[in-house]
A and B are shown apart, each in its own frame.
Chain A
Amino acid sequence: MNNLYTFILLACTPGLALAQSKPEEVTLQAILPERHFEILDNYCLSCHDSVEEEGGINLEDLSFEISSDIKTAETWQKVLAVLNEGEMPPKKKKQLTAQEKTDLLSDLSVEMVKARRILSDSGNKIVLRRLNRREYANTIEDLLGFVPDVSSLPPDSGTGNFDTIGANLFFSSDQFEQYRRTAENALRAILEIKQVEETLRLRGDPEVQFYRLHKDNLFENYEGKYNALRFLASDSKEAIVSVEKEGRLREKTKVVDEPMAIKKLRFQSTTQQSLDYVSRPENYTGASLIPLRSNIQTVDTPMVPASAFGSYTLRIRAASYKDQPEFRRYLEYGFIPKGSNNKEILGQFGVEGSIEEPSIVEIPLEHPPGRPGVYFVQHRDYKEKSARFTRNQKLFAENGIGVLPAVWVDFIEMEGQQTWPPAAHRFLVNTSQSELAPAKVKSAIFSFANEAFRGRPIAQEFLEALIGRYQNKLDEGVSAFDALVDAYALVLSSPSFLYMLEPAEEEGTTQLTDWELAVRLSYFLWSRPPDKELLALADKGKLSNPRVLSKQINRLLNDERSHQFIEAFTHQWLDMPRLDMFEFDAKYHPTFDESTRRSARQEVYSTIDYIIKNKLPLQTLLKADFAMLNDVLGLHYGITDRTSRITGPEFRPVAIPKDKPRGGMLGMAAVHIMGSDGQRTSPVERGVWVLRHLLNDPPPPAPANVPMLSRIEEISSARDLQKLHQEEPQCAQCHRKIDPIGYGLEHFDAAGLWRTEEVVKKFDGRTLIDEKVFEIQSEGQLPGGETFNDFYELRDAVAGGDKDFAKGFTEHLISYSLGRPFSFSDEQLAHEICESAAGQNNRIPAFIHALIQSKAFQTK
């Protein structure tokens, strides 16, 4: 509370010493301007004054200071709602003019957001944090040497804030049991593992299975047509058809009408595809991959045993058919756990080899113990079955067969040696002795807990309780091993493990110990516990030395483990769950599939990673002369590296010619995808995203109950559709700021491809019934009034607002690292961080250094 108080004092005392680093004016009150008194007077008070109080609403005595308390804010929220929904004033009463309504709603919605922030301000308090699911998995990984299965733990996301916000990290009624079970499973998986000396070599050859599949397809399901084919191949006018008689299949000759037979035969594409399959000689030694009856077939390794653990190689020998589009000449690979239908896709790679000369691809794998299942490859394809079906119908009409294979797989193989002994076996106690000395067990539990608690010693009471329980178990006849696993699992379910404890007498005034600083630091930049080096420095009391600390920050940021921070922070900062919100309709976006989506997401992460590691300014994210691309995105964007095709799944910086729209987030497919509904672009979503994340001027949340503008009846351009927003004051008040930004991105379709015209199609089921083409008009303006003529001018204008962008980034960074929503009491801190970074060319690490070196980060 202290900080908040001081801050109010400073902000309210004019001319105080803060002059050179004074943040922009901040009023810690949300007040509706008094000019709206008149509207209330004219339209509301005849019913809602202190005498009538209709519906229990008295607007006469309602404070215009919305943030004065929750009750006042609630009442204003109701006023906002009834105005938005058009419920008040009642239809027969005098109505506000459009201008009055727009102005009032505009002010009220903005102040409402501010009031909510003021009222939910935790006043610089950092609430005790539980490890979230990501951090929990990483912490177990550091301790036991593999990533555990945490799928039964709650995901800790979904409340619209960072998953590091302490106040939101709840502990529900059965969570203790979930932790205990998860820990016990992980412990058993690694501690029970038996040594296997032989090299594991699991090779899967698809030819027999796939050949049978296609043969069955021909013989069993399409027997009649297969016979018709035999008939066509012969000179005879009689075909052998099978008939069912007395429950048995019999062959019988019958005169067949030739055109009819051909028609029947052609009717099914899958018959043709299977015929095509069996006619390819390469399928005697491998399998060419197509979706059969819309199902994607996988080529699997044999079952990976539970004893597999450590580093392995996944080897695939494959070829691609060069007559097929390059887009399809890829393989995706992944893992299917035993007993599950869930394909976990791990990545994709382009297949370079030809049928004459197949290529071998090797992928390094880290395989966790106790996780039986199969690794697989499959051809790249649309997620939606209906999309695959539609495409097949189209190709069938063209080539008489349907989709042809683009890739062929000879084999898939997993090879490697079990890692022995697993590092976690340091926790095992030699159980060969008939009686385990209690002292030995005690010291084992003590050191296990010491590591699990990130260097913090276990409380004596807890240790005694664990030993007591261990002894009881032995007395009951439980084996020493089981009793030990039980004790370890309880250590991993205790608050000392699950929470980042920072003992203190008083709130917000105590300096962190070096040890606590190490924990905060490593969970911020790695989402995992401090490593040996950090702990050693903390032990010596050196970590809090600013120069030592600075060195460590650089080390952590340059370490590969910082990808945890980059991905988790970016994903939440930029609202990237939206990226997965919609399925894409292949009717509209034939080159969009899950590989494209995955690569689009990685483009964002790898760009930020590259900017950090190469000490480029934060604002490079707004505009850049390079883009981080892999093969999939290079193809999607139609960009080559100088003159050569981009190959390989890894991301690398590629120089972007001046006339290409990539480089900077506004040119990233991920951003365009998030601003679409899987079919069409949404200038609204894109405008909101730019306001929120690039200009740091977030519009108030969309009122929930305003009816969606109907877009069913007529065919119009995305831009024209937004014009409806201008017709209603409750829409216009925000959309006049939002939509014109989105117009600037209209050259990008829903999947992020550049277009010069918008084609709007109307389907009845799968049949196209109408189609119109619109020229793209991309001129628009920013809320400040600055106009732009096209995308490039929009990008320049946004890049000009680099200070706002830096401020927004800093606010989110503070929230993520301190584990509390950014609030008004953090304004001064944000200001200082921005100032400091501005002096260092706005390099991202400069923001991070300033934040970690701040008092806020180092006190509890």
Chain B
Amino acid sequence: MKTTRRAFLKSSSSLIALPFLESFGFSRFASAASNALPASSAIAKRLIFLGIGYGVTKESWYPDINDTGKDFQLTSGLKPLEKFKDDITVIQNLEHANSRDGHSGSTFWLTGADRYAVPGQSFHNSVSVDQIAAEEFGKHTRYTSIQLDGGTGYNADGHGPGSSLSWNRQGKSLAALPTPVTFYHKLFSSEDMPLEQRQALLADERSALDTVLADATSIKKSLTKVDQDKLDEYFQSIREIETRIAKEKSWLHVPKKKPLDPVKEPGESLEGIRAVEAMYDLMLAAMQVDASRVFTYRMPNDALISSLGASITAHNMSHYAGGERTEVSEMRDQAHAKLIARFIEKLKATPEADGSTLFDHVALTWGSNLSKTHSLKNCPTLITGGGAGFQHGQHLVMDDKDTPLCNLWLSTLNGVGINSPSFGDSNGKIQELLTS
């Protein structure tokens, strides 16, 4: 097959839904699903991005910039990770030169885009790093990628515009699952419904799309070029749903698997720390059954703080000025570190077929575009997992104070086997991660 995703996207302004599905999408996914059945010999790589929105407590989270290398001292904000000090790396001096919005910790975190890059527009974004990987990894799994979102407070808990960390090739935000219980149902909901009925449901969804397309197509002709371009967003939305349906169809005959050590259905009202724990557990379960290999999570802020027994909001806290606000801010950082430590522990306790553990195949990044208050410099960055082949157990302070965060994204992509020559405004890879 010669068609590429790029070619498909280029032709996306001319819409022919049915032929596209039949010639391109459907058959590809059909073969993908059957390919996925026999476990491939090499163990799959997984990518996880955890966005925290508002940044960290500068004074107590970042290690001393003069204390670099292997023997660095963990700060109080990172202390709960002591046990896994050799498995984590903290990197300083990474930034997005194009980010300028001091209230958006997540909008451009995985993209590095310049919101003003397109003439005549006041907001623009580009594809996020996870989605580049998902284009490849997603071929083998039921879900191309999974986006989770727990941000609900003021300004989406400091995450900024968007509905998840993930942005597609058109620079549009991807939808996310809001709660652990919806995530659980997506992964494991029972399939008592007979196959034929499920097929009929999908066919019905397809027919609904065709029906509204009759309206879209008939009005498009009468519009000016500018308006047609705008209406294309609608077509694009429909097209993406069609792609998803085609994929679902090809997976219909593959039963949803449950992990050997099954997870319980999370409660409806989990919030804060409990919600994050549940999301981590479900990501773990999703990786065990290979439901998806790419995950992004916009983590809660207000709810997390409130589950720590404090009652100020994340935004108030980000303007910490000593006293209660600083205390709570530090508490929040430590809670995050504890949660990551717990996650690492579980990843390490999950064996893979070849005797290695899941941890060895995961590339996990935790951080934000915001470091503290409204500062976009020195984005807090903590990475772990063996998936990208990085050397861990270091505190890295990049010599260049303006090292593109996209260099890390590029290193991660290349590390997990996606051979992109560049990403965003990257100007190279982070060599220190590649050599010990």
Contact = CB atoms under 8 A, between A and B. Distances in A.
Contacts, number: 199
A168 B312 contact: no
A131 to B, nearest CB: 13
Contact of A704 (B101, B237, B311): B101
Contacts of B123: 159, 167-168
B219 A495 contact: yes
Contacts of B210: 465
A581 interface: yes
Contacts of B227: 127-128, 502, 504
Given A173-B172, A495-B215, A705 B376 contact: yes
A821 B102 contact: no
A386 B313 CA distance: 12
A73 B323 CA distance: 42
A751 interface: no
Contacts of B207: 469, 472
Interface stretch (A216-224, A322-330, A456-464): A456-464
Interface stretch (A356-364, A606-614, A707-715, A842-850): A707-715
A192 B233 CA distance: 33
A507 B122 contact: no
B237 A174 contact: yes
Interface centre among A158, A161, A384, A701 (most CB of B within 10 A): A158
B241 A177 contact: yes
A775 interface: no
Contact of B215 (A119, A175, A459, A707): A459
A85 B100 CA distance: 13
Nearest to B309: A385
A545 B311 CA distance: 58
Nearest to B200: A476
B401 A469 contact: no
Interface in B58-102: 97, 99-102
A176 B122 contact: no
A476 B204 CA distance: 11
Given A173-B236, A704-B101, A461 B214 contact: yes
State which size class the interface on A falls in. 35 or more
B223 A128 contact: yes
A121 interface: yes
Contacts of A103: none
Interface in B100-154: 100-102, 114, 116-117, 119-123, 154
A503 interface: yes
Contacts of B230: 127-128, 166-167, 499
A504 B224 contact: yes
B183 to A, nearest CB: 15
Contacts of B415: none
Contact of A158 (B114, B119, B160): B160
B316 interface: yes
Contacts of A85: 377
Interface string A801-836: 000000000000000000001000000000000000
Interface in B175-224: 175, 200, 207-212, 214-219, 222-224
Given A159-B122, A494-B216, A501-B223, A171 B234 contact: yes
Contacts of B268: 339
A502 B268 CA distance: 44
B242 to A, nearest CB: 10
Contacts of B322: 712
Interface centre among B100, B214, B216, B321 (most CB of A within 10 A): B214
B216 A583 contact: no
Nearest to B104: A158
Contact of A176 (B99, B212, B219, B402): B212
B424 to A, nearest CB: 14
A343 to B, nearest CB: 15
A765 interface: yes
Nearest to B243: A173
B94 to A, nearest CB: 14
A154 interface: yes
Interface of A is mostly: loop
A384 B114 contact: no
Interface string B256-285: 000000000000110000000000000000
B233 A764 contact: no
A123 interface: yes
Contact of A764 (B102, B215, B218, B323): B323
Interface in A345-395: 384-387
B300 to A, nearest CB: 15
A580 B153 CA distance: 11
Nearest to A121: B120
Interface residues of B, number: 73
A677 B122 contact: no
A87 B401 contact: yes
Nearest to A173: B240
A160 interface: yes
Contacts of B241: 173-174, 176-177
B218 A583 contact: no
Contacts of A175: 237
B178 to A, nearest CB: 9
A21 interface: no
Contacts of A502: 227
Interface centre among B101, B160, B230, B377 (most CB of A within 10 A): B230
A149 to B, nearest CB: 15
A493 interface: yes
Given A170-B233, A495-B234, A708-B373, A116 B116 contact: yes
B20 to A, nearest CB: 16
B168 interface: yes
A172 B172 contact: yes
B223 A503 contact: yes
Contacts of B114: 74
A486 B163 CA distance: 27
Nearest to A486: B208
B375 interface: yes
A794 B136 CA distance: 62
A120 B120 contact: yes
Contacts of B327: 765
B323 A765 contact: yes
Interface centre among A78, A387, A493 (most CB of B within 10 A): A493
Interface string A562-601: 0000000000000000001111000000000000000000
B269 A341 contact: yes
Given A119-B116, A494-B216, A167 B376 contact: no
A178 B269 CA distance: 22
B121 A172 contact: no
B238 interface: yes
B313 A583 contact: yes
A708 B371 CA distance: 13
25 contacts: A78-B97, A85-B377, A120-B119, A127-B230, A128-B230, A158-B155, A168-B122, A170-B233, A171-B234, A172-B172, A173-B175, A173-B237, A174-B175, A177-B241, A180-B208, A459-B214, A459-B218, A468-B211, A493-B212, A499-B230, A581-B315, A583-B312, A583-B313, A677-B316, A704-B376
10 interchain residue pairs of minimum CB distance: A503-B222, A128-B227, A459-B218, A465-B214, A171-B233, A462-B215, A174-B175, A128-B230, A494-B215, A173-B240
